[in-house]
Amino acid sequence: MSNTSQDILVHDEGGVRTITFNRVERKNSITTAMYAQLADAFETAAQDAAVRVVVLQGDVAVFSAGNDIGDFLQQPPSTQDAPVFRFLRAIATFPKPVVAAVCGPAVGIGTTMLLHCDLVYAGDNAAFSMPFVNLGLCPEAGSSLLVPQMLGYHRAAEALLLGEPFMAEAALEVGLVNRVVPPTECNAIAQAQARKLAAKPLSALIETKRLLKKGQTAAVLERMAEEGASFGRMLREPAAREAFSAFMEKRHPDFSKC
């Protein structure tokens, strides 16, 4: 698969499609164009029999800072066909194994996309956060459903209502990641695990994943649609406008009237 931009790198080898966030100078923040590339990469991988496993990875210092705020404000996701929602549906319904290697910050969708991965390996410098409330918004990517299932209600409420970071060991404790490793080894370990998976019978991998997720996918897609509708509405409300203005002006937001 060829790239149209160097911000997302896609490489196929030995049955493994590696998708790399490659915008380190902007902390791998994701633009609309990058979401379109991510959606394309997953949609074509689902149909390509030569691709048996997908690996998502970033840099040793940062996985993803989430949405590129400037781009997000210029091109907010206004419909369910927006590239960000295409990507989320593609990863949520992807029938083959997805392995993630996460080092450094994983903010917003940088964390919630991991809920749809099958194996997640984290560097010991990984920091996960879902600060949607702090932006005057609500959860996305089905996280309002999946995070309570994984963390339990009270931990989920702490993560989603306060939006504060939690580190790799805490993510390991609640089951968000499979293993914590030195950052310099993280991508290599994810690749090694992906190669193990790629050597197994694809039909067995697909059927096992289908059974593991049986009864969940429809609920996740329904919740994504509900979250997306709320997210779009809240983008136009005073709290989000204040949060984004404060971000762009490099000041603390004032929610006293929101």
The answer to whether 141 and 113 have CB atoms below 8 angstroms apart is: yes
Given a cut of 50, whether residue 73 has pLDDT beyond it is yes
- For the entire predicted model, the pTM comes to 0.94
H or E stretch at 172: helix 168-174
In the predicted model, what is the mean pLDDT of the chain?
A: 94
Given a cut of 70, whether residue 161 has pLDDT beyond it is yes
Given a cut of 90, whether residue 232 has pLDDT beyond it is no
Strands annotated E in 22-155? 53-57, 98-102, 105-107, 119-123, 127-129
Pairing of strands 127-129, 166-167: antiparallel
- Going along the chain from its start, the domains and CATH numbers come out as 8-182+202-211 (3.90.226.10)
Over range 169-195, report the average pLDDT. Answer: 97
pLDDT of residue 67: 93
Rounded distance between C-alpha atoms, residue 233 and residue 245, angstroms: 17
Who has greater pLDDT, 98 or 248? 98
Over range 80-93, report the average pLDDT. Answer: 93
Over range 127-140, report the average pLDDT. Answer: 96
Listed range (78-92, 112-126, 194-208, 212-226) with the worst mean pLDDT: 78-92
Given a cut of 80, whether residue 1 has pLDDT beyond it is no
Over range 160-185, report the average pLDDT. Answer: 97
pLDDT digits (tens, 9 = 90+) for 201-224: 999 999 999 999 998 999 999 999
Binning pLDDT at 50, 70 and 90, where does residue 2 land?
very low
pLDDT of residue 17: 98
Listed range (17-21, 239-243, 245-249) with the worst mean pLDDT: 245-249
pLDDT of residue 149: 95
Given a cut of 80, whether residue 4 has pLDDT beyond it is no
pLDDT of residue 226: 95
